[in-house]
Amino acid sequence: MIDPQVHVWEWEIPIYLFLGGFVAGMMIISGFFLWRGRHHRTENVCFLLPGLGVTLLSIGMLALFMDLEHKPYAWRLYTTFQITSPMSWGAWILLLVYPALIANLLLRIPDRLGGRFPGLKYLSDRLMSNVATVNTVGISNMVLGAGLGLYTGILLSSLGARPLWSSPILAVLFIVSGLSGAAAFVHLIARDSEERLLLAKADNGFLAIELVVLALFILFLLTATEVHMQAASLLLTGQYAAVFWVFVVMIGIVIPLFYQSLSVNHKVPHNPLMPIFVMLGGLVLRFVIVEAGQASHWLSTGLHYVSMP
Flag whether pLDDT at 14 surpasses 80: yes
Considering the entire predicted model, what is its pTM?
Answer: 0.88
Phi, psi of 155 (to 5 degrees): -55, -40
Helices of type H across 223-302: 226-236, 241-243, 255-264, 273-295
At residue 152 the predicted structure's pLDDT band, cuts being 50, 70 and 90, is confident
- Sign, Cα dihedral of 121, 127, 131, 137: negative
Helix (H) or strand (E) holding 188: helix 169-189
> By C-alpha distance, which of 217, 251, 250 is closest to 234?
217
- Whole-number pLDDT of residue 9: 60
pLDDT tens by residue, 163-177: 999 888 999 999 999
Q: Among 72-86, 144-158, 229-243, whose mean pLDDT is lowest?
A: 72-86
Residue type, 93: I
- Report, as an integer, the average pLDDT of 19-39: 90
Segment 239-251 mean pLDDT: 96
What per-residue confidence (pLDDT) applies to 82?
Answer: 77
DSSP designation for 84: T
Mean pLDDT, range 264-274, rounded to an integer:
92
* pLDDT > 60? residue 155: yes
Question: Predicted confidence band at 125 (pLDDT cuts at 50, 70, 90)?
Answer: confident
Residue 8: pLDDT over 70: no
Distance CA 192, CA 195 (A): 5
Average pLDDT, the chain: 85
Mean pLDDT of 247-262: 97
Q: How many CB atoms lie within 10 A of CB 105?
A: 18
CATH number (1.10.3720.10, 2.60.120.620, 1.20.1630.10, 3.40.50.720) of 1-158 reads 1.20.1630.10
Evaluate whether 209 touches 195 at the Cβ level (below 8 Å): no
pLDDT tens by residue, 30-40: 999 889 887 76
Give CA–CA dist 98/51, Å, rounded.
10
Q: What is the CA radius of gyration of the chain?
A: 21
Is the per-residue pLDDT at 232 higher than 90?
yes
Distance CA 84, CA 82 (A): 6
> In the chain, pLDDT over 90 holds for what percent of residues?
52
DSSP state of 238: S
Element (H, E) at 301: strand 300-301
pLDDT band at 307; cut points 50, 70, 90: very low
3-state secondary structure at position 113: helix
Q: What is the SS3 assignment for 191-204?
A: CCHHHHHHHHHHHH
**Spans of all domains in the chain:** 1-158, 161-309
* Pair 275, 203: CB distance under 8 Å: yes
Which pLDDT score is estimated for 43? Answer: 64
Average pLDDT for residues 189-194, to the nearest whole number? 82
pLDDT above 80 (res 150): yes
Which pLDDT score is estimated for 55? 94
Local structure of 45: helix, strand or coil? helix
